[in-house]
Amino acid sequence: MTNPKTYEPTPSRRVAFLGLGVMGYPMATHLALAGHQVTVYNRTATKSIAWLADSTRAGSQRYAETPALAAADADFVFCCVGNDDDLRSVVLGEHGAFASMKPGAIFVDHTTASASVARELSALARSRGLQFIDAPVSGGQAGAQNGLLTVMCGGDAAAFEAARPVAMAFSRAFTLLGDSGAGQLAKMVNQICIAGLVQGLAEGIAFGQKAGLDMAQVLEVIGKGAAQSWQMDNRGKTMVDGKFDFGFAVDWMRKDLGLVLDEAKRNGARLPVTALVDQFYADVQAVGGNRLDTSSLIKRL
């Protein structure tokens, strides 16, 4: 992992990190490089062993065979797993993190999950003398690798302030947006906006190609005007070139949009474009594009 990150001086803390996927692996690495004592857990232990063997590791780190063992004596337990069920599996039960966390410890969950599970686990944490912050991230695999994630948080203000200096090891922004569940709801807003932007960009490129335009040149021009967006800057030219291996997979986006649409049913929001783009992603899945990145929407066109 290249490491352009500059770490703010913070006291070394005992932390655990649960889940070493494409996001969690580099996030845990940044915590170690920032000088914290990190214990990692991953469902597949070979990933934890590989993490320890990584040459970028700094300090005295270890891995544990269960979330409870990883979380014991930790001041902060960070987590980044797949969905609500995965989150419950590492938090609850005899071998879950809550079983061993010491009073006053803070659980910071970076999973993109439902607002309801965030509220459920936050209430359970409080009943055990713990704190829970829902803290989904934006910035993708590159953001995790570079330690420049944007983190949207919900939970107790004092717990947030305690966690923030530690979490800045892998963040460029770590912001409290409200009570428990607010972080997850903000991430849903993020995904709604991305879905519409990517579909609009895909349609624009496809239209320009049908019209015989040099779309690389067109994107360079309109990228200096009102059409500019992160998606255009970072995915426009790769969409023109038919390259779709840039991290955030269609399968993950459909999971996230499923959370969005479920929440919209509860709160009454009308999301016609988001629902349509979700079905367009289903079309991409149907032709085997499950692991392509989200800009692969253009393949439908």
Active site (catalytic) residues: 187
Percent helix, strand and coil across the chain, each to the nearest 5: 50, 15, 35
- The count of other CB atoms within 10 Å of the CB of residue 31 is 28
Strands 76-79 and 106-109: parallel
The identity of residue 254, as a single letter, is R
Whether the Cβ atoms of residue 71 and residue 93 lie closer than 8 Å to each other: no
Q: How many other C-beta atoms are found inside a 10 Å radius of the C-beta of residue 189?
A: 12
* Biggest CA pair distance of the chain: 65
- Rounded to whole angstroms, the Cα distance separating 245 from 203 reads 20
**Is 202:289 a contact under the CB 8 Å cutoff?**
no
